[in-house]
Chain A
Amino acid sequence: MIIYTNEGNPLGLQLLVLAKFAKKTAQVQLVNLNDAKHKDLLVLPTLELDNGLRLFSGAAIAKYLLGDEGQRRDEWLEWSTTLLAPALEHHMAVGHRADPNALPVLNGLVKKLNDCLSTSPFLAGDKLSAADLSIWCLLAPDGTLKGAQNVDQLRNWYDKIKAMPEVQQGLKELPIKDLTFNALQQSNRYGGLQHVQLKRSSSVDAGKLLAE
């Protein structure tokens, strides 16, 4: 299999780690969407299967590679793509595009993760699933959890996943220090995830968790 991704894209690491857990060999190719050679790629990362089929959704690829792991896993996968990734991109984006609404939203999402991990060792229950791996890769970039408070369960879970051999192997090829959320903006021709509207939770304020 081939993973086409752009430099520093945390979702590229996600595909690589998923492939390692599925015991499949995947070769990473760093590409640029502006390169005429890659004009047929719509969204990065894209996984090319050995039969030539190309898939560009991390959630779809997780389900395809790792099979059925239950509804909660599927819900977390969708949550990570449609809520967590856009909030991270809005918050971490540099310069004038940073969204002041993003931090409160992100705090709510991080609190949800921490609350869930206070009641079960992994996001979808007692067993590690693709949801843990996918969400871990989004929290991996340096600075996301740096300085965060009241997220002890999340940190324990983070360290546990990071220590897994498949994750370590993935990090050898795509190191944490290279990952950025600005890379998500270069990952498609639709403005990254900048147009996805952040959804403000109606429940009470999550308070301060992540560093400002």
Chain B
Amino acid sequence: MCDVATVQKIANCLGVSPGKIQLNEEQVVTRTGAQNKTVAGFATILESMARESKSETAQNSIVTQEVQAQVYQWIEFAVLYVAPGSKDKYVSKQLLADFNKLFISKSYLVGHFITLADLAVYYAIGDLIKSLSPVDKENYLNLSRWFDHLQQRPEIHQGETMLNFTTIYLHNWATGTHI
């Protein structure tokens, strides 16, 4: 997904006015908001929106210095590895396995609450998750659980078709008939 569209979606999630989102001459996403103030860079824009927003997700993302640092690193991870790596078969497998492992013991990327880190990775990994077969989704059960949980929020799915994870639940009571 392109940066401009993702910034717009995340602005919607946070309930802030996106302002004018475009690419500058270096092909870097910029946001021009109130008083013609321009911010350049995907992660820097997300941080600026978090400071403006009253939403739960934004407030959670700036609660301490430690949380802010972790949120930033996952946004950067989404930009550097998730979005570009999803197009490579080998890297996608590694990403899916690593996220699946992370979500064994937690429900969100940072702390015990939803933050911008979840949103950035959610939108970056969406196409990859969409390409998974039901068996794959089951292999990455923890990642699937996290993704399915987030997509249930109307401010996150924003009217897009929801991905189907139901065979996962089916598997729990009909193991023998599955696959």
A binds B: yes
Residues of A within 8 A of B (CB): 42-43, 53, 55-57, 59-61, 63-64, 71, 74-75, 78-79, 81-83, 86, 108, 112, 188-191, 193, 195-197, 199-203
In the complex, residue of chain B having the shortest beta-carbon distance to the beta carbon of A65 = B69
Q: How far is the CA of A63 from the CA of B70 in the complex (A)?
A: 11
Q: How far is the CA of A202 from the CA of B22 in the complex (A)?
A: 14
Residues A196 and B44 in contact, CB atoms below 8 Å apart? no
Given A57-B73, A78-B41: 10 more A-B contacts, CB < 8 Å: A42-B98, A78-B42, A78-B76, A81-B80, A189-B98, A190-B94, A190-B95, A191-B85, A193-B80, A195-B91
> Chain B residues near A200 (CB, 8 Å)?
27
Q: How far is the CA of A53 from the CA of B76 in the complex (A)?
A: 18
In the complex, residue of chain A having the shortest beta-carbon distance to the beta carbon of B92 = A190
What does DSSP make chain A's interface, helix, strand, loop or mixed? mixed
Residues A55 and B25 in contact, CB atoms below 8 Å apart? no
> Chain B residues near A86 (CB, 8 Å)?
80
Q: How far is the CA of A197 from the CA of B94 in the complex (A)?
A: 19
Residues A195 and B69 in contact, CB atoms below 8 Å apart? no
CB-contact partner of A57 in B40, B72, B88, B98, under 8 A? B72
Residues B27 and A60 in contact, CB atoms below 8 Å apart? no
Given known pairs A63-B68, A195-B91, the reply for A74 and B80 (CB within 8 Å) is no
B113 within 8 A of A: no
Residues A195 and B76 in contact, CB atoms below 8 Å apart? no
Min C-beta distance of B1 to chain A, whole Å: 14
Given known pairs A63-B69, A195-B88, the reply for A82 and B80 (CB within 8 Å) is yes
Min C-beta distance of B67 to chain A, whole Å: 10
In the complex, residue of chain A having the shortest beta-carbon distance to the beta carbon of B41 = A78
Given known pairs A71-B39, A75-B39, the reply for A60 and B26 (CB within 8 Å) is no
Residues A190 and B91 in contact, CB atoms below 8 Å apart? yes
**Docked complex: B27-53 residues within 8 A CB-CB of A:** 27-28, 39-44, 47-48
Min C-beta distance of A104 to chain B, whole Å: 13
> Chain B residues near A195 (CB, 8 Å)?
81, 84-85, 87-88, 91
B165 within 8 A of A: no
Chain B interface residue count: which class? 20 to 34
Residues A191 and B41 in contact, CB atoms below 8 Å apart? no
Min C-beta distance of B128 to chain A, whole Å: 13
Q: How far is the CA of A15 from the CA of B57 in the complex (A)?
A: 29
Min C-beta distance of A74 to chain B, whole Å: 5
Interface centre among B40, B41, B85 (most CB of A within 10 A): B41
B79 within 8 A of A: yes
CB-contact partner of A60 in B72, B81, B88, under 8 A? B72
3 A-B pairs with the lowest CB-CB distances in the bound complex, closest first: A57-B73, A199-B27, A78-B41
Q: How far is the CA of A63 from the CA of B65 in the complex (A)?
A: 9
Q: How far is the CA of A43 from the CA of B102 in the complex (A)?
A: 14
Q: How far is the CA of A74 from the CA of B72 in the complex (A)?
A: 11
Given known pairs A190-B94, A190-B95, the reply for A75 and B40 (CB within 8 Å) is yes
> Chain B residues near A59 (CB, 8 Å)?
43, 72, 76
> Chain A residues near B28 (CB, 8 Å)?
79, 82-83, 199
Q: How far is the CA of A183 from the CA of B26 in the complex (A)?
A: 26
B77 within 8 A of A: yes
Residues B77 and A43 in contact, CB atoms below 8 Å apart? yes
Task: Give 30 pairs: A residue, B residue, CB < 8 Å, sorted on A.
Answer: A42-B77, A43-B81, A55-B69, A55-B70, A60-B70, A60-B76, A64-B66, A71-B39, A75-B39, A78-B40, A78-B41, A78-B43, A79-B40, A82-B41, A82-B42, A82-B80, A83-B26, A108-B26, A189-B98, A190-B81, A190-B85, A191-B85, A191-B88, A191-B90, A193-B80, A195-B87, A195-B88, A195-B91, A196-B80, A203-B25
